Structure 1
Amino acid sequence: MGKILPLLLALIGIGAGVGAGILLKPAEDHAEMDNPCGEPVPAKAASEEEMEPTDVEYIKLNNQFIVPVVSEAKVASMMVIALSVEVPEGRSEEVYSREPKLRDAFLQVFFDHANLGGFTGTFTSSRNLDVLRRALRETAQSHFGDLVQDVLITDIARQDV
């Protein structure tokens, strides 16, 4: 009996998992419903005439940002953040030539955000990331004017120490 009970529990667990997987399996036909929360949207074939030409480029900054998060006079965790910047098409070389100044300005924003507790708790909440994105964009635009149109957070992770 002692050997049968764990085996029986394992089989029940596996059966429940398979059953839940089958029951919760998404519908086969996704082509007609692009908006699963609303009414079906008819599928459109993307042609070159329908696509609007873009006049921006996305420039990935060369290195990630490493930001210490200090708590009680000790480094509690490290943030690793990767950014891209949106610039007018054809101006990417200006970003790369001035990247050290841009990185310095972004690091100050990250340090201020960390010191205000922005990287503790649920640091990935929409509200929290919107505050950070806005601060990064405003800082970039105050230093570089219309060169940087927007800042995108492409990766963010916290490593607790």
Structure 2
Amino acid sequence: MIRKLIPVLLGLIGLGIGMGAGIFLRPAAVPAADAGGEHAAQPEEAAGHEASAKPDHAEEAPKEAGAEGGPEYVKLSNQFVIPVVEQGKVVSMVILALTLEVGAGTTEAIYAREPKLRDAFLQVLFDHANSGGFDGSFTDGANLVLLRKALLEAAQTAIGPNVSDVLISDIARQDS
């Protein structure tokens, strides 16, 4: 009977210690988030009305960044699957997810031309695979810089100068 209770008691003690540590070590709450910026504005009220308006403006800044001409990021809807072929046989598959950095307000235009863009990207990725770019240490910095540059050129050819960068958000290789 005691042999069965010991693991249960040890589990409960461990659970209690874990909960206590979690409560004790959790990050402190930010006062501005608790009351909508009232606590953060109190010390600044002595400095004047303009200083108290800054926290409210800082909260709105991320919403306005896209409208003021900052970059937007367009994640392409599907991943790219690239076969790596050696001596006529598929030896591995590379799976990529790409995101485009584009100018403000061009997201819909990118999605409208996505089939053409995917075709251009697939051609670049197949060429990269056939030249050995996905062999060995395929995540080497120099390899990825060349690939990003080629993808950016293909995107700018297919879409235009609205594309400022191509980001490789995920990359994996599955060997057969």
TM-score, L = length of structure 2: 0.62
1:120-131 equivalence runs, <5 A:
120-131=135-146
Query: In the aligned structure 1, how far is the partner of 2:88 from the partner of 2:161?
Result: 39
The residue type equivalent to 1:110 in the other structure is L
Query: In the aligned structure 2, how far is the partner of 1:142 from the partner of 1:108?
Result: 13
Number of aligned residues: 114
Q: Contact 2:85–2:130 at 8 Å: present in 1 too?
A: yes
Query: In the aligned structure 2, how far is the partner of 1:63 from the partner of 1:147?
Result: 21
Query: In the aligned structure 2, how far is the partner of 1:57 from the partner of 1:146?
Result: 14
Unaligned runs of 5+ residues in structure 1 are: 1-46
Residue 152 of structure 2: aligned partner: 137
1:1-161 equivalence runs, <5 A:
48=58, 53=65, 55-161=70-176
RCO comparison, higher one (Cα < 8 Å, 6+): 1
Flag as ranges the 4+ runs of structure 1 deviating above 3 A: 51-54
Tell me the secondary structure at the aligned position of residue 124 of structure 1. coil
* RMSD, aligned CA: 1.6
Report how far residue 146 of structure 1 moved: 1.3
TM-score, L = length of structure 1: 0.67
Unaligned runs of 5+ residues in structure 2 are: 1-54
The residue type equivalent to 1:88 in the other structure is G
The residue type equivalent to 1:108 in the other structure is Q
The residue type equivalent to 1:148 in the other structure is V
Query: In the aligned structure 2, how far is the partner of 1:73 from the partner of 1:147?
Result: 39
Identity among equivalent pairs (%): 58
Question: Counting helix residues as a fraction of each chain, which structure ranks higher?
Answer: 2
Query: In the aligned structure 1, how far is the partner of 2:160 from the partner of 2:112?
Result: 15
Q: Which has the larger radius of gyration?
A: 2
The residue type equivalent to 1:139 in the other structure is A
